[in-house]
Structure 1
């Protein structure tokens, strides 16, 4: 696994099509080159989303940003789609992407369904610019009108908009193992070691805020791109142990269904998955956990 993480030539890139400017010619080309779709393996895969994968480290050249022009595809780590798919989005739902930059998961959310309202939040001002450009590059103007970009501290959104959203994605800041292993800067490495110890506290605070913003009966998905148990399973366990209104959702069956494209490591939690990169399946690392907020009526009966 480490060999894959520290060897960019082994990395693979999935091609997520933009349904608002569909790349028909590219689709034919990818099929001829042996790419296959992710669609066949996932239990609740929306028909409107199409993503092509290759089993080799092939890469399609990225498109440049042009004002007023919609890009036809987005290159991404295929494991990044799993948190989005786990939300099981439907048209008309109110959706919160709590830590949205650079915008790939927001774009993917909009390939799944037409939300009634999508709030893309990012606290870092530089990353907000990146997020806005990504949305402008992929989303047509009529749909942009149902999207709001905010720059709030994610820990404050629950207080600002309690029980507002049907679905919440918390793609939390994490220690990011790919960039960690590739870094040769000793000062940056020392800073990251210090940061690693404080990240679980931030991640827990963001999760609690997301839960507060979630309506009763709604779904929240938590994700990171690290292998760290402290930032993954431990964060989820603390949330489940301290919140009587949150219940885990079993997604363990997905590992068997998606084994063609992804390699999974055990997490000892039925509500979570951990994708680990292997040669030929160089996706991840990606941790995904799925939670549901109890309805008020259910909570009253239980308590």
Structure 2
């Protein structure tokens, strides 16, 4: 899917942005001095664009979100353990460093096979390099990504489609969560597809690779090619990535991204329509993005609900109640939606999730 965007001159549109008119302190950050490894240059045009948009869409909630997005040293990273290469040493090290399970065993969201560790302090556990023929012990990710898999709730034996799967984190989480009858991991962009395959090879034993099919199809065509073939579909759609857009290094590219941003919602709607066609009756689809943008989130879902007679929203109140312990959730969304707002100490997201069922 990302290749389609590139071929249309929209190569940056799947990345995030956040922005606004800077205060005096933020002005000093914009003028920047590279003090630390995580210090990045904020792109002024993106900052101002999103300050205008998100201050209107989020109101008072925008200020703490902006503070996190503009300070990368406050970002947090979760550690998803690989049950196929479990290491008690790694788990013990995480606990010694202050990490804890994202959902404790008393939580209704707890799934014993899905061990995701977080801690309140910012920082990043050391990454593991890919080594051919050897499984990695863990995967680093934004903890909000786990919520999309919890919403999808795959069950053993089901056929699951991850429509826009690269780099592979959510596919990995699906396989940690349950043992599907088939996981169909699709990524249209050839470079990202290779990245996806390498990720899967790093986390899935050879004996289970027969459960996984990878493909490079245009996600918008899968519904026609495989109608009513899947029990669950995840559409982690290409979007304007708020975190990375804010630090666009090329001003001309950033301006082009913003000018072409409106094209994204049409692509997202097409992807979601295709997902609905690929669902069997009674199946569910989870739609997710990494942006705060209403046009790419709730407006897309509203369009689908208004135009597809066989689609109904699915209440996620139970998940929201459990998630509210570790995530800051926007209060202005419907019960079939979650919007994770990053703030200090809970610097997860942005992540939008919606759940629909085909009747």
On whether the aligned pair clears a TM of 0.5, the verdict is: yes
Residues in 2 aligned to 1:147 and 1:135: alpha-carbon distance in whole angstroms: 9
Contact between 1:227 and 1:287, CA under 8 Å: does it hold in 2?
yes
* Aligned with residue 217 of structure 1, among 270, 282, 286: 282
Looking at structure 1, the residues matched to 278 and 268 of structure 2 have their Cα atoms a distance apart, in angstroms, of 15
**TM-score calculated relative to the size of structure 1:** 0.95
- After TM superposition, the structure 1 = structure 2 runs for residues 96-175 of structure 1, keeping only pairs within 5 Å, are 96-175=161-240
Q: Which residue of 2 aligns with 1:192?
A: 257
Report the equivalent of 2:98: 34
Q: Classify 1:42/1:82 alpha carbon distance in 2 versus 1 (closer, same or farther; 3 Å).
A: farther
Residues 42, 258 of structure 1: 8 Å contact kept: no
User: 56, 67, 87: which one pairs with 2:121?
Assistant: 56
SS at match of 2:148: helix
Query: Residue 93 in 1 paired to residue 180 in 2?
Result: no
Equivalence map 1:70-81=2 (5 Å): 70-81=135-146
Give the equivalent residue in structure 1 for 2:334: 269
Give the match for residue 3 of structure 2.
Answer: none
Work out whether 1:5 is the aligned partner of 2:69.
yes
Deviation per CA, 1:264-297, whole angstroms, max 9, x where unpaired?
1124311000001000000000000001111xxx
- Name stretches of at least 5 consecutive residues in structure 2 with no aligned partner: 1-64
Residue equivalent to 1:16: 80
- Aligned position for 1:279: 344
Runs of 4+ in structure 1 off by over 2 angstroms are: 39-46, 252-257
Aligned residue for 2:306, secondary structure, equals helix
Residue 201 of structure 1 and its aligned partner are, at CA, apart by 0.2
Query: In terms of Rg, which structure is larger?
Result: 2
Could you tell me which of 116, 121, 134 is aligned with 1:69?
134
- Identify which range, 253-262 or 135-144, moves more after superposition: 253-262
Question: What are the equivalent positions in structure 2 for 1:253-264 lying under 5 Å apart?
Answer: 253-264=318-329
The alpha carbon displacement at 1:191 in A equals 2.0
Equivalent position SS for 2:223? helix
**Larger deviation: 266-275 or 125-134?**
266-275
1:121/1:140 CA distance change after superposition, 3 Å: same
Question: Using the alignment, how far apart are the partners of 1:97 and 1:168 within structure 2?
Answer: 6
> Contact (CA 8 Å) 1:37, 1:52: kept in 2 or not?
yes
Alpha-carbon offset, residue 260 of structure 1:
2.0
- Aligned-pair distance for 1:43? 2.8
Q: Does the 8 Å contact 1:233/1:267 carry over to 2?
A: no
- Give the alignment's TM-score, normalised by structure 2: 0.80
